[in-house]
Amino acid sequence: AYALRHLDEIRFIAVAEPRASRRENFAKVHGILPGRQFTTWEDLLAAGLQADVAFICTQDQQHTSPAMMALEMGYHVLLEKPMATTEAECRALVEKAQSVGRQLHVAHVLRYTPHFQRLRQILLSGVLGQIIHIAHAENVSWWHMAHSYVRGNWRNSRESAPMILAKCCHDLDILLWLTGDRCTWLSSSGSRLHFRPENAPQGAPQFCLEGCPVAHSCPYYAPRIYLDLAPVWQNMRDSTPNPFYRALFAFRLASPSLSRLLFSRLPLLRPLTDYRGWPVSTVAEPPTAENVRLALQSGPYGRCVYACDNDVVDHQVVNLTFASGVTATLTMHGFSALEGRTTRIQGSRGELRAFLGLAGGWIEISDFHSGRTQRFITGSDPTGGHGGGDAGLMRALVTALRSGGEALTLAQGALESHLLAFRAEQARLENRVIASPGD
């Protein structure tokens, strides 16, 4: 989307994608010639095309090989997070980029959001005094948990990665960036407590559409999530600080048929008429109502959440101590009514409270001496992609490649958050404290 809006900055000239419909659609949108459309990344890189940067957007366990080859061939690389699913591969990627003199960027988009950039500016200003403690939470909504980490691609650590790495390398990176410090000690605990076969309702079938006896009351009933999309619209309504958007999403929830009719006549609102984005875009291709319903009959996203092959945790807490003495907690759980990240920072002169959700965010500062509270709106555009972080990452990438300078998330810096994630999972599994976890 950024490339389409900024044709003077970046242009895609080739694509590799095994699914024909997605490959053809991407090629059509970006004007990619037939001879530059490939089924595999191996074929694309073997073609010897001349370009500045390769985007590696494969599944987690498929990152390393294409990234290593692209770097070796002279491409700069933008790599999806997590960099890789093992510590050895993460380190190898950083070493390869350094040895060939190429930039390796990691898609830690949170650093580029107006929300977290404003939050960091507040910390650096000293208004909170000495920072004592940070309590940060990744509140994964119940339907997002079911979609990605119970039914979806990140449900099983053997096929993807531990959830603390796959989901929260973002958040560990933010804690390191906010403190500007090195973690010296961590511990962690958590488990898969709820999404287990023994918690299934009496008589629940393998697939929701096979006549589930609790379809009327189960929040995880697949058609409600993927056909009605009620949870998506509810989260958009409740997380935006913009009254206009809040009213639109409320109308969409209250009057689905009438809102579709009215929205279809207004170009700005047309995307809300027949929404085909995430999460339904992962269920069927193209994600029409008919295709989605068909996919739910026997596909992974139609499974009962208590009858999946998931093994990742559904809640986990990481306790961290930094070299300065600052302490922090990272809480990750999959049972939030509202999708979003909350941050609470205790300083010697004030307290900060913040929220970043699907459709916007805010920061509040309470000053101990005056008793006054300031509130800042840090984003209210629900189309901004990760709170504006997607566009921010792209701007930084283009700037770094043009100038040869550094962006905020070159791989050497991103590596430390990945090491913390690996150590947190080790601490959880071994039930112990780990010192110098970032070494």
Q: In the predicted model, is pLDDT for residue 92 greater than 90?
A: yes
Q: In the predicted model, is pLDDT for residue 275 greater than 80?
A: no
Give the tens place of pLDDT for each residue, 248-263.
Answer: 888 888 888 787 777 7
pLDDT given for residue 380 in this prediction: 63
pLDDT given for residue 38 in this prediction: 97
β-partners of residue 410 are 105
Q: In the predicted model, is pLDDT for residue 9 greater than 80?
A: yes
Q: In the predicted model, is pLDDT for residue 403 greater than 90?
A: no
Q: In the predicted model, is pLDDT for residue 283 greater than 90?
A: yes
Find the mean pLDDT for residues 154-167: 94
Find, among 333, 387, 362, the residue nearest to 195 by Cα. Answer: 333
DSSP character for 414? H
Whole-angstrom distance, CA of residue 211 vs CA of residue 323: 56
Find the mean pLDDT for residues 145-170: 95
Find the mean pLDDT for residues 122-145: 97
Residue 201: CB atoms within 10 A of its CB come to 13
Residue 113, Ramachandran bin (φ over 0: left; ψ between -120 and 50: alpha; else beta): beta
The dihedrals phi and psi of 36, each to the nearest 5 degrees, come to: -115, 20
**Is the peptide bond preceding residue 34 cis, with omega within 30 degrees of 0?**
no
Using DSSP's 3-state secondary structure scheme, residue 332 falls into strand
Q: In the predicted model, is pLDDT for residue 28 greater than 90?
A: yes
Find the mean pLDDT for residues 26-31: 96
pLDDT given for residue 30 in this prediction: 97
Tell me the whole-structure pTM to 2 decimals: 0.93
Give the tens place of pLDDT for each residue, 169-182.
Answer: 999 999 999 999 99
Q: In the predicted model, is pLDDT for residue 297 greater than 90?
A: yes
Q: In the predicted model, is pLDDT for residue 229 greater than 90?
A: no
User: Which is more confident, 280 or 244?
Assistant: 280
User: Which is more confident, 336 or 383?
Assistant: 336
Q: Minimum mean pLDDT among 57-61, 283-287, 299-303: which range?
A: 283-287
Find the mean pLDDT for residues 129-156: 97
pLDDT given for residue 430 in this prediction: 97
Helices (H), 305-403: 389-403
Confidence at 223, pLDDT banded by 50, 70, 90: very high
Q: In the predicted model, is pLDDT for residue 274 greater than 80?
A: no
Find, among 333, 300, 332, 307, the residue nearest to 153 by Cα. Answer: 300
Confidence at 242, pLDDT banded by 50, 70, 90: confident
Q: What is the mean pLDDT of the chain?
A: 93
Find the mean pLDDT for residues 415-431: 97
Q: Positive or negative CA dihedral for 177, 68, 278, 381?
A: positive
User: Which is more confident, 242 or 290?
Assistant: 290
The listed range with the strongest mean pLDDT (234-243, 286-295, 301-310, 430-439) is 301-310
